[in-house]
Amino acid sequence: MVTLAAPKSVRTNAMQLDIHKVGVIGAGQMGNGIAHVCALSGFSVLLNDIALDRVKSSLATINGNMARQVGKNLISEEDRKAALGRITPAEKLDALADCDLVIETAAEKEDVKVRIFAELCPVLKPEAIVGTNTSSISITRLASTTDRPEKFIGIHFMNPVPLMELVELVRGIATNDTTFETTKAFVTKLGKIPAVAEDFPAFIVNRILLPMINEAIYTLYEGVGTVEAIDTAMRLGAHHPMGPLQLADFIGLDTCLAVMQVLHEGLADSKYRPCPLLVKYVEAGWLGRKTQRGFYDYRGEKPVPTR
């Protein structure tokens, strides 16, 4: 049985700051996962979204996920109750004013993120660090739109956050050493393993993973195999825990497309061209699990391939 105590200061040398209170902007799948692990690790968390109902729904999801952890003896019931008590809904960004670190987890759209930072930064204390969970967008470019590029960093969690061990840390050109060391210590305190990536389109994981998924979609588009055949081939032939089309549905086809577009535009290589079938699915609003239809239809008792 794991019992998690409240965090001590993360300062271990002069290059680290204290992190006690964490703001999370965006109460979707990534945001609720980040809030979940932060609260379990003893940090006070303020969870914000554009609608308070979304935050309440996210809290219910976190509660359910923690209950499953209790059922598996990964945490105690006392841990669950204490962690839930550390998460506070934040209806407005003003509520994040005294946070030591704020992590943005909004949609993978640069203009959306820039608007959030423009509203957020003026209310934060000068020493606060701003992190973004972007999976592909330039950290340097996002940082340049803020009042604190030296205190801005990419903190890319993997999905689902409570289960995945890795966090990519991405420095922009202006990110200073104190910000980097503080964030690295914070990620380690969450029980995650940091991997440092350079600020190139899609960083490490998605630079490798998303082109594979895109190629699987091309394989479907060109009629080389069916949805079921492609996923079975990669599960049994490459020992992947999840087929690439099933994984695409889990990630969200809109997110897959956004990352491929960043790669295609940022690296100017035709090998990163998004598959037309991926574009078509996104245009149809078939975004995967979150809309109940993608490469599989999730509306019945079990998923059924849509092609």
- Catalytically annotated residues: 135, 156, 168, 206
Residue with tokens 């990419």: 154
DSSP characters for 181-199?
HHHHHHHHHTTPEEEEE-S
Provide φ and ψ at 66, rounded to 5°: -70, -35
| Residues recorded for the chain | 307
Measured between alpha carbons, how far is 138 from 136 in angstroms, rounded to an integer? 7
Pairing status of strand 21-25 against strand 44-48? parallel
Measured between alpha carbons, how far is 246 from 290 in angstroms, rounded to an integer? 13
255-286 core/surface letters (b: 16 or more CB in 10 A; e: else): bbbbbbbbbbeeeeeeebebbebbeebbeeeb
Alpha helices in 3-149 (DSSP H): 29-40, 52-71, 77-85, 110-120, 139-143
- The 3-state secondary structure of 42-57, one letter per residue: CCEEEEECCCHHHHHH
- Stated as kind and residue range, the H or E segment containing 166 is strand 166-171
Measured between alpha carbons, how far is 34 from 28 in angstroms, rounded to an integer? 10
